[in-house]
Structure 1
Amino acid sequence: MSQPGVTLLAHGLGGSTDLPIPYSYALIGAAWALTLTFAVVAFAWRTPRFDPDRPGRPLPGWVTRAVDSPMTRSVVAGLALALAVWVIAVAIVGPQDTGNALPGAFYVLLWVGVPTLSVLIGPVWRAVSPLRTVRRVLPVRALRNYPEGLGYWPGAAGLFAFVWLELASPDPGSLTAIKIWLACYVVVTLGGALLCGPRWLSRADPFDVYSVVASRLAVFGRNRMSGQIAVVNPFNHLRTLPVRPGTLAVLAVLLGSTAFDSFSASPDWRNFADGIGINTAVTRSIGLLVFVLVVAATFWGAAQATGGIDRARRRELPGLMAHSLIPIVVGYVFAHYLSYLVEKGQQAVIALFGLHDVEVAYVLSAHPAVLATLKVCFVVAGHIGGVIAAHDAAIRLLPKRHQITGQLTMMLTMVAYTFTGLYLLFGG
């Protein structure tokens, strides 16, 4: 069996090295995306249907009591803290080469695994964050309130720092680079939490922010009146995404970085990067930043391109419609990193706990047609979810006479995201 971690060290997550989807699959997915977009715009409902205050179907009362139990939360937080200590110990005393378990735990279990769990059951990082646990047990009172004007900007900066390490740094698999990044993360996150209180963790911890964003597609939530855990409509749940400064920046970093990861594996990018004769890290850093800025600028411009509203309302539209990007982000991330979560995730667990007699089951790579189909389905499903959420938001926010024409630019922008995503997955 190949040594766990070898591929991980080669290129961070390396999701763009996945099997590309066949050309015919890309065309079929693009056709479905285009057709369904304009079907929604032309024939869908004309009054808003999604309401975050609408109660879901409550689960039995014991579920809420068990989840909210201080004992349950303490046990989960304690186990997560113990796991973090174990990862640190293995990273220090383990082999300082490709056999070290740290890259797998960092790039796969943390970066891909936590958001995946959040999509399934809710914002798990708030329950398992080791730094939140440490902050909770320290008898320290915050010295000042978190500046509300910062919003999610610190979280967006932290997310960009992570994707820069993975996609643009000179050696993303370097144990030293990962350890330095984690040390900076601990200092900034825990220091900010001691200074500004738990709100810093909710706004500035990149993993917390990512977990919250992904959790807005979960089918489990809480009824606002009773606080009881319930099965909810994800489209109602999407609208609970807090609208704060930096919300769009968070989503732009997530979508733009994933797109750049695919594009940077293409021959066009390699030929361009090799031809200009600039340091690779500089070239990749600029490319990553451009992709993030393009996503942010196109969505912001599409949200602004409508008539019949005053200037104040126009400024608010990008934030009020940002939740419609979440299905597209999650769909593309799943399409991009699915096999890495399933297969490299197994490698990461094997390396972390020394289970070297266990064989990795390559359940997806062994069935390329299934993998390609899943990729297309994730991208198209994310596109459909984004279009539906954007349509409902448009008819809720825009004047009646502009409800159709006002959302055409946004729909075309989402089609462009989907076509680009399919093209990059096809060419990657």
Structure 2
Amino acid sequence: MTSGRSVSVLAHGVGGSTDLPVPLSFALIGAAWALTATFGIVALAWKTPRFGPDKPGRDLPRWVTRTVDSSFVRWGAGLTALLFAVWVVIAAVFGPDGSDNALPGVFYVLLWVGLVAVSVLTGPVWRVISPLRTVWRLLGLTRRETSDRPVVRTYPPSWGYWPAAFGLLAFVWLELASPDAGSMVAITSWLLAYTAAMALGAWVFGSRWFARADPFEVYSMAVSRLAPFRRSPVTGRIATVNPMNHLTTMPVRPGVLAVLAVLLGSTAFDSFSQSPAFRNFVDQRAASLPVLSQAWAASLLRTAGLVVFVVVVGVTFWAAARATGGVTAQRRRKLPGELAHSLIPIVVGYVFAHYLSYLVERGQETVVRLADPLGRGWHLFGLDRADVQYVLSQHPSVLWSIKVSCVVIGHIVAVVAAHDRALHLLPRRHQISGQVAMMLTMVGYTFMGLYLLFGG
């Protein structure tokens, strides 16, 4: 994450803008032109909506749905994930200290980044493998929800995804702004607080609390809207689907924009916080605040920066979504939420661009540590540190090409998604002019994203 802390061994990314196969300025200009050309093409040639949640997919054979829905598969996946969590707890409690412990890698790599990759490929997998949901089912508490008094209190609809947004903000704060992100005490304290919050909320509101408030479940659900599979609303079977149609099924609830702003803003801040200029600023200012220790003063400054990035993303998108004419005030208030799904491709693009080498290489290191959880020289499954392949770090030009492609493709998909949705929502005479602000905002995101990723 950030250097100078015990988690630095997990630092992601290699090199800088000098490793790019083309100059950074060329990458920025090319990305902006690609985005602008995409908008021009879809604006002129795309006059009627083409995507929607009611578009049919192609049903897979019935045995696929029966397999996915079978109790054996679902319980097997849930119990396997629970046993894995127990294995990680054993490693955390009895394993080596510091960077040799498997917990930081599981927490920051396999969970935070790996969850995106799996969800984009298969769907909202966390609701099946969540250890807390599995414990909830093992205790038979799901049966309580079918009784005469299913829950202590009904989950307030006005809360929407706001609890999950705050949970995600708490995670990225620990990762990017806390005094010691790699501390075993810090990570275990966060996990204990998360477990307590989820258990208490589920006891009061029932399992709906997991669907609305669990930061990992909402995170998995959001990025899974780009998965090529979904359940057919007509037949109930698992079907292959155009991800652009699947994207439009993102639920529009309070806090949905906040969730995506946290995900996008925190990734941008992660790049910015690694720049020498920001590091020097934090070090100098932290030393001049005698009221706090230098570590906590630096944390306070990083926290302020993180909040600024999240707020800027949320406010700029909110303003761009509302900057259109010809709609009623009621419709205008709904536009930010109804267009928020167009941020998902940008979020996924940035996650892969920012954490690709981190997932591939640090992920391998984490798996090797899990094969020796107690640090006693075990080689379970024949795994050894020599098996880790740093293939991406050894080919920086290839890595940066992939990173640029992820950012640009993510933005292009977002432009197409926003344009198609605007055709659904805006009156005909404002379908083009009403998108100009959103187009300019996404060009700005592209410039800033690439510059922070490579130029910082």
Confirm or deny: 8 A CA contact 1:56 1:232 kept in the other structure.
Answer: yes
Aligned-residue sequence identity (percent) comes to 61
| Residue identity matched to 1:191 | L
Confirm or deny: 8 A CA contact 1:40 1:387 kept in the other structure.
Answer: no
Q: 1:189 is matched with which residue?
A: 198
**Aligned residue runs from structure 1 range 91-170, under 5 A:** 91-140=92-141, 141=144, 142-170=151-179
Of residues 307, 312, 315, the one that matches 1:297 is 315
Partner Cα separation in structure 2 for residue 159 and residue 12 of structure 1: 23
How many Å apart are 1:222 and its aligned residue? Answer: 1.4
- Shift in CA distance, 92/29, structure 1 to aligned 2, threshold 3 Å: farther
How many Å apart are 1:152 and its aligned residue? Answer: 0.2
Partner Cα separation in structure 2 for residue 365 and residue 406 of structure 1: 43
Of residues 251, 269, 275, the one that matches 1:242 is 251
- Shift in CA distance, 417/304, structure 1 to aligned 2, threshold 3 Å: same
Are 1:419 and 2:420 counterparts? Answer: no
Are 1:73 and 2:74 counterparts? Answer: yes
Confirm or deny: 8 A CA contact 2:257 2:337 kept in the other structure.
Answer: yes
Are 1:389 and 2:390 counterparts? Answer: no
Are 1:14 and 2:11 counterparts? Answer: yes
Q: 2:280 is matched with which residue?
A: 271
Are 1:365 and 2:393 counterparts? Answer: yes
Partner Cα separation in structure 2 for residue 29 and residue 280 of structure 1: 37
Confirm or deny: 8 A CA contact 1:299 1:318 kept in the other structure.
Answer: yes
Partner Cα separation in structure 1 for residue 450 and residue 75 of structure 2: 43
Which runs of 5 or more residues in structure 2 are unaligned? 145-150, 290-296, 373-382
Confirm or deny: 8 A CA contact 1:17 1:265 kept in the other structure.
Answer: no
Confirm or deny: 8 A CA contact 1:9 1:103 kept in the other structure.
Answer: no
Are 1:405 and 2:433 counterparts? Answer: yes
Q: 2:65 is matched with which residue?
A: 64
Indicate the SS of the match to 2:399.
Answer: helix
Indicate the SS of the match to 1:55.
Answer: coil
How many Å apart are 1:387 and its aligned residue? Answer: 0.1
Q: 1:218 is matched with which residue?
A: 227
> Deviations 1:41-73 (Å, cap 9, x if unpaired)?
532311111011111111111111100101110
Confirm or deny: 8 A CA contact 1:40 1:391 kept in the other structure.
Answer: no
Indicate the SS of the match to 1:133.
Answer: helix
| Residue identity matched to 2:280 | N
How many Å apart are 1:95 and its aligned residue? Answer: 1.1
Q: 1:3 is matched with which residue?
A: none
Runs (4+) off by over 6 Å: none
How many Å apart are 1:425 and its aligned residue? Answer: 1.2
| Residue identity matched to 1:251 | L
Are 1:38 and 2:56 counterparts? Answer: no
| Residue identity matched to 1:344 | R
| Residue identity matched to 1:177 | A
Are 1:353 and 2:371 counterparts? Answer: yes
Give the stretch that moved more between structures: 190-199 or 135-144. 135-144
Indicate the SS of the match to 1:15.
Answer: coil
Confirm or deny: 8 A CA contact 1:12 1:167 kept in the other structure.
Answer: no
Partner Cα separation in structure 1 for residue 11 and residue 273 of structure 2: 11
| Residue identity matched to 2:317 | F
Q: TM (normalized to structure 1)?
A: 0.95
| Residue identity matched to 2:323 | A
Q: 1:90 is matched with which residue?
A: 91
**Aligned residue runs from structure 1 range 302-321, under 5 A:** 302-321=320-339
- Shift in CA distance, 260/283, structure 1 to aligned 2, threshold 3 Å: same
- Shift in CA distance, 320/13, structure 1 to aligned 2, threshold 3 Å: farther
How many Å apart are 1:112 and its aligned residue? Answer: 0.5
Q: 1:334 is matched with which residue?
A: 352
How many Å apart are 1:272 and its aligned residue? Answer: 2.7
How many Å apart are 1:99 and its aligned residue? Answer: 1.0
Partner Cα separation in structure 1 for residue 179 and residue 441 of structure 2: 33
Which runs of 5 or more residues in structure 1 are unaligned? 1-5
| Residue identity matched to 1:60 | P
Of residues 219, 223, 233, the one that matches 2:242 is 233
Are 1:282 and 2:283 counterparts? Answer: no
Q: TM (normalized to structure 2)?
A: 0.89
Partner Cα separation in structure 1 for residue 228 and residue 165 of structure 2: 25
| Residue identity matched to 1:384 | I
How many Å apart are 1:18 and its aligned residue? Answer: 5.6
Indicate the SS of the match to 1:221.
Answer: strand
Confirm or deny: 8 A CA contact 2:32 2:443 kept in the other structure.
Answer: no
Partner Cα separation in structure 2 for residue 167 and residue 329 of structure 1: 17
Partner Cα separation in structure 2 for residue 350 and residue 87 of structure 1: 13
How many Å apart are 1:179 and its aligned residue? Answer: 0.4
- Shift in CA distance, 385/7, structure 1 to aligned 2, threshold 3 Å: farther
- Shift in CA distance, 99/12, structure 1 to aligned 2, threshold 3 Å: closer
How many Å apart are 1:246 and its aligned residue? Answer: 0.2
Partner Cα separation in structure 1 for residue 14 and residue 5 of structure 2: 11
- Shift in CA distance, 113/176, structure 1 to aligned 2, threshold 3 Å: same
Confirm or deny: 8 A CA contact 1:12 1:172 kept in the other structure.
Answer: no
Of residues 317, 323, 331, the one that matches 2:341 is 323
